[in-house]
């Protein structure tokens, strides 16, 4: 009993000494953290202010354009030019189609009142229907009385089809660019978007932060390219479809004129009233 009692006292004193040794570093660490806390907070606030100072503040469309990357700028300028081209084609083709359809309708009324090819040539002086009459007269001038009448009618119909197809191609000239803009505009805008987002991720890696305030301007510029692509493509597709219907109606009117001219020529051939020289003189007056 006399031997164990001193050992217990020694062990208790040893435990108290170890606990005291552990408490001292812990207290020192808390003191250091308390002392460094204001400095760390001040440093964080300074970095936040510096980051806010370099962030672009003008997020209007023009501001985003001026701050965008050169590649995104080129994409935006190209899409704006495509929109301008769409508006120009729309205005010019609207006026051209309106004038051409009105001319063909007036010529169809004159053809309906004509009783022979000679009267039709005198009544219609200009426009695509006049070119159809000129082609018919030219084919009759190349034909002779010895030729078969059915063969003459077939050659007249072939010439009328060629002139009608040429008039359709002429009126449709320029509308293909609308189809091109409508098909490629969204993809061009998407290219600008991908490029802008790629630059935003590069900025994230350089700034070593994922703060949305740092990333948002670059993403906004990228999405602006997509918006411009849709602005260029949607009107182009709508206008192209509208012109396609109007051009189809114009070609139908030309087909009516070709049929009327073919009937007049067949009537004169069957009645023996064809006089090629007189028709040529009437066309030249």
Q: What is the pLDDT of residues 53-108, one digit of tens each?
A: 344 456 666 767 677 778 888 888 999 999 999 999 999 999 999 999 999 999 99
Answer yes or no: are the C-beta atoms of 3 and 9 closer than 8 Å. Answer: no
Residues 27 and 141 in one domain: no
Give tens-digit pLDDT for 18-40: 444 434 344 433 443 444 444 43
Distance from chain centroid for Cα 267: 51
Number of structural domains (the chain) is 2
How many other C-beta atoms lie within 10 A of the C-beta of residue 239?
A: 20
Please check whether residues 146 and 277 belong to one and the same domain. yes
Entry field: residues in the chain: 285
Mark whether 203 and 231 lie in a shared domain: yes
162 and 206 together in one domain: yes
Query: Are 114 and 194 within one domain?
Result: yes
Write down the residue that tokens 């949305």 correspond to. 212
Question: 5 with 105, same domain?
Answer: no
Give CA–CA dist 265/150, Å, rounded: 11
Domain housing 38:
1-54
Quote the CA–CA distance of 100 and 131 in Å, as a whole number. 13
Query: How far is CA 15 from each of CA 6, 12, 19, rounded to the nearest angstrom?
Result: 15, 5, 6
Cα gap 76→226, rounded to integer Å:
9
Indicate if 88 and 221 belong to the same structural domain: yes
Closest CA to 196 of 227, 217, 213: 217
Residues of the chain falling short of pLDDT 70: 1-61, 63, 65, 144-147, 209-214, 271-285
Do 70 and 33 lie in one domain? The reply is: no
pLDDT at 225: 87
pTM (predicted TM-score): 0.69
């Amino acid at each position: 009993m006399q031997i164990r009692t001193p050992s217990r006292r020694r062990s208790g004193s040893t435990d108290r000494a170890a606990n005291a040794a552990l408490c001292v570093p812990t207290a020192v660490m808390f003191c250091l953290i308390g002392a460094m806390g204001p400095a760390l907070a001040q440093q964080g606030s300074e970095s936040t202010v510096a980051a806010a100072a370099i962030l672009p503040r003008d997020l209007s469309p023009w501001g985003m354009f001026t701050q965008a990357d050169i590649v995104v700028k080129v994409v935006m300028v190209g899409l704006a030019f495509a929109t301008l081209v769409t508006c120009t084609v729309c205005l010019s083709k609207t006026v051209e189609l309106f004038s051409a359809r009105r001319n063909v309708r007036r010529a169809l009324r004159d053809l309906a009142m004509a009783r022979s090819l000679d009267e039709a040539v005198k009544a219609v002086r200009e426009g695509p229907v006049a070119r159809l009459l000129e082609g018919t007269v030219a084919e009759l001038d190349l034909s002779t009385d010895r030729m078969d009448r059915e063969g003459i009618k077939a050659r007249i119909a072939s010439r009328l089809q060629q002139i009608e197809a040429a008039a359709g191609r002429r009126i449709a000239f320029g509308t293909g660019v609308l189809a091109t803009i409508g098909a490629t505009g969204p993809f061009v805008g998407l290219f600008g978007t991908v490029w802008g987002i790629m630059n935003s991720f590069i900025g994230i890696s350089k700034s070593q932060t994922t703060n949305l305030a740092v990333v948002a301007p670059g993403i906004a510029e990228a999405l602006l390219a997509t918006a411009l692509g849709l602005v260029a493509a949607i009107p182009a597709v709508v206008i192209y479809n509208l012109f396609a219907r109007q051009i189809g109606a114009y070609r139908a009117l030309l087909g009516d004129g070709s049929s009327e001219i073919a009937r007049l020529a067949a009537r004169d051939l069957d009645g023996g009233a064809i006089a090629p020289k007189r028709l040529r003189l009437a066309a030249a007056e």
